[in-house]
Structures are given as C-alpha cells and as structure tokens.
Structure 1
Amino acid sequence: MQIPSNNQSIPLVIFDMDETLIAKDLSVLWHDYLVKELKLADSSFVEEDKRHMEQYYLGAMDLDAYISFSLTPLRQYTIEQIDAFAEQFVADEAAQYIYPDAIRRIQEINQTGSVCMIISATMTLLVRAMAKHLGIDFAEGVNLEIADNHYTGKISGVPSYQNGKVIRLRQWLESQQGRYEATHFYSDSINDLPLLLEVPNPVVINGCEKLVAEAEKRNWVQEQWVL
C-alpha cells in the first residue's frame, strides 16, 4: 500500500523528530524540564520515564501508558497554559539540541519549493512547538483527548507510532485533496520502518543498529548529523 502520487502535487518532505532533527528525545527533555524548571514532579518521574524509554528502543512501548504517565503532572493546567509551557521549553531548553544539518536541510528544501512536515510519536503539543520553532508548517504527533479545555491523559485517534505514522500521513494527505505528494522521509529509528518503506526516498539519519541493517540491505541513503 503506497502513499499516493500526483505529478501536480507539491513535494512533501517528512521528518521524524526525536534523534533525527534533534540529538535528544524531546519527551525525555520535556519531562526533565517539568521536574527541574517547572517543579511539577520529582525525580521518581524521571526514573519512570527511563523505564518507558527502554521499552521504546526495543520497539515495545505501551504508548497509551506512556502518554497517561507523561500528562500526570499537567492535569490541572489548561491547553493554553500547557502550550505556553511547551513553547517556552523549546526555546529555553530543546533548541540547543537541534542538529545544524537539520536546519540547513530544512532551508534547502524550502528553497526548492517543497514543503516540510514533522511526524512524530511524541505528543502533538510538543511536536507543534518544535515545528513552530523550526519554521515548519505541518506537524503531526500523538493527538490527545480533550475535556473541558484540559487533556484527559488518553490518546485521541490513531497514534503516530510505527505503522500508525503511515495511517496518519495517508489521512493527512487525503484531507489535503491531492495538494501534496510525500517524497522523502528522514528517520533514525527502526520504529519508523513502515513509513520508510512507503515513501520513494527514505533517508536514514544517525540510524539505530536495526535500521542501519535495513538501510544497508535496501541501499538507502544514510547520513550522520552531529551537533
């Protein structure tokens, strides 16, 4: 099942975020920020985050449990308050970990008339904050259920994780009625293999061991980006 192509469409270049555009996992940085800067959780929260991330790198994360855990310190805040926290967090903390090569590549893509998008398994509120900082117009992440202008801690719709990224991209492309054509996808993670297999031009950035093996087998482009 291939991503649809339309010769009249604008080329769309898609990036994973964590450890692709930035040298860290944004959710991990965010959780540290909640503890150290906003003082909304204690050190046990960071330790629990590490246990979840160990499962992610094995491709076995329980995403529902992780999202519920991640939002625990924020349940009393409104969406607008959390969005403000997130934008300040990206500016103050996360921006220093953006790869210079990522910034250059985004600028090059924009100059060609193509457009950029981020699709990440991180919460949409963080993905959009990073996309805004990078000047990327389109951002898709794990959407959250909302009630009374607060996040409930539950996922809404299909999570953009593993094959869910393919589903979410297809949904987005369909909503755009053929205006865009997915041409490239940049990623570091074996979790993104389903979407890498769908686009015409997969690009592996600082690939994990399993993804490097796949890239070598399939003769995919590989790049190493450094801070």
Structure 2
Amino acid sequence: MNMKTPEAATELVVFDMDETLIGNDLTVLWHAFVVSELGLADDRFLAQDKQMMDLYYQGKMDLDAYMAFSLSPLMSLTAEQVDALADRYVSEQAAQYIFPQAKTLLADLRTRNVTCMIISASASFLVKAMGRYLGIPYAEGVDLVVDNGYYTGKIDGIPSYQHGKVIRLQRWLEANDGSYTPIHFYSDSINDLPLLLEVDYPVVVNGCPKLQSEAITRGWPQLRWQL
C-alpha cells in the first residue's frame, strides 16, 4: 500500500480507536452521555445498544442499521451542535479512558515528526473529536449524510468498517500525494484484519480472542495496554 518512492516517503502510524487508543468503546460511552447528561434517550436505548454491539464483537454488525439507531436521539440537534457536544464529551468524560501507553507512544511519535491518524468504525464526529483532543491531525470515521445542517443516520460513502478501512486509507493516501512508508497499524479487533494484512507493520493491542489467534499464527507483535 504505497505509491511514493522510498526517498520521498514518510512514515505513517495508523490507530484504531475503540479498545485500542482508549480502554472502552467511544460510541457506547457517547450513548451513555446522550442518556445521562443530555436526556435525549432512556435505558431502553442503552439496552438495544448492548445487543447491537454484541454483534459487532462477533464481526456481524449491520453498520447501516447501527448508525441509524445511534443518530436517532440527535435529530433535533444541528451538526454543529453535535460536534460541539462531542468535543465536550471527549474532554469531560472519554479522556479518562485513554491508555497511558497510547499517550506515551503518541508523544514519542510527535517528537520524531511521524504522521499519525485514526481510522475507526465510529461516527466521524466522534473520531474527529478524539483526534482533536489527542492532537492527531488525521481522523477517518463513518461519514454521515448532512441534510440542511443536520446529521442523518445515513452513511455517506464507504464506511470505515472491515474492508472499508482499507479503501478509506487508500483514498486518503491518494488524496495526500500518494502513500507513506512504512505504514503501521494498531488494532484490537478481528474486524480490522483486512487492514492489518495490508500494512507493513501490524500491531495487535489488547486483541480480541480471534485476533490474538491470528497474531500468533502470523507472528505479529501483541501489546497489553492498561488504564
């Protein structure tokens, strides 16, 4: 996955977000915020979220259905309002779940001027909010159709989920004058196997059982990060 000559290339480190950079799922935490802090949904919403997330961990989630569900309580808010709330939520609540080891690694990468990005299957407004908080300049998530200034529950373009992450990274590389080399990718999820297979240096962080098995078979490094 590279198009530049080695002399012109720049190192790129890509991170999954949920359970990789943070010791939780950002969307699940966001839904709890929507219920407890914003009062826009109730506990039935959280129960349904748990059922749908169980499918995600099995690699069986219907992402279109999940995005429509996730956005359903927010239809009265403009996209601008949602973005502002996402920034508040990350700084006030989600930040406590960022792995200290991730912070240390990011600080080292910044010192060495290594380009970093996040690619996550969470909604882009959440991924970008986490990117802003961590000082990661590039953040790719599931883009949503905006209608008259409001987010809809409809996915816009290729979602950054499973093989879609490969496509999204390829398109990002093309838009940024080719690829970088080497490319590293840190992830916990079997859903990210397609991208892990594409990069130069795959790294498993707190891998799910299926991904741990793949890592052992393929000789990939495994890290155990803790809060």
Pairwise CA distance, 1:35: 0.2
SS of the aligned residue for 1:77 comes to coil
Structure 1 equivalent of residue 190 of structure 2? 190
Pairwise CA distance, 1:104: 0.5
Name the TM-score, length of structure 1 as normaliser: 0.97
1:100 partner amino acid: P
Pairwise CA distance, 1:112: 1.6
Paired with 1:215 and 1:81, the residues of 2 have a C-alpha distance of 41
Pairwise CA distance, 1:4: 4.0
Structure 2 equivalent of residue 164 of structure 1? 164
**CA offsets, 1:169-209, max 9 Å, x none?**
00000001126345100000000000000001000000000
Are 2:28 and 2:49, in contact at CA under 8 Å, matched by a contact in 1?
yes
Structure 1 equivalent of residue 203 of structure 2? 203
Paired with 1:219 and 1:204, the residues of 2 have a C-alpha distance of 11
1:223 partner amino acid: L
Q: Does 1:41 align with 2:37?
A: no
Paired with 1:4 and 1:50, the residues of 2 have a C-alpha distance of 41
1:127 partner amino acid: V
Structure 2 equivalent of residue 70 of structure 1? 70
Q: Does 1:176 align with 2:176?
A: yes
Aligned length: 226
Aligned-residue CA RMSD in angstroms?
Answer: 1.0
SS of the aligned residue for 2:61 comes to coil
Uncovered stretches (5+) of structure 1, i.e. residues with no partner: none
How many percent of aligned residue pairs carry the same amino acid? 55
> For 1:109-188, what aligned pairs fall within 5 Å after superposition?
109-178=109-178, 180-181=180-181, 183-188=183-188
Pairwise CA distance, 1:37: 0.6
Pairwise CA distance, 1:5: 5.0
Are 1:6 and 1:178, in contact at CA under 8 Å, matched by a contact in 2?
no
Structure 2 equivalent of residue 6 of structure 1? 5
Are 1:3 and 1:199, in contact at CA under 8 Å, matched by a contact in 2?
no
Structure 2 equivalent of residue 106 of structure 1? 106
Name the TM-score, length of structure 2 as normaliser: 0.97
Q: Does 1:94 align with 2:106?
A: no
1:195 partner amino acid: L
Paired with 2:2 and 2:11, the residues of 1 have a C-alpha distance of 12
Uncovered stretches (5+) of structure 2, i.e. residues with no partner: none
Are 2:2 and 2:179, in contact at CA under 8 Å, matched by a contact in 1?
no
User: Which stretch has the larger CA shift, 158-167 or 182-191?
Assistant: 182-191
Are 2:11 and 2:114, in contact at CA under 8 Å, matched by a contact in 1?
yes
1:142 partner amino acid: V
SS of the aligned residue for 1:10 comes to coil
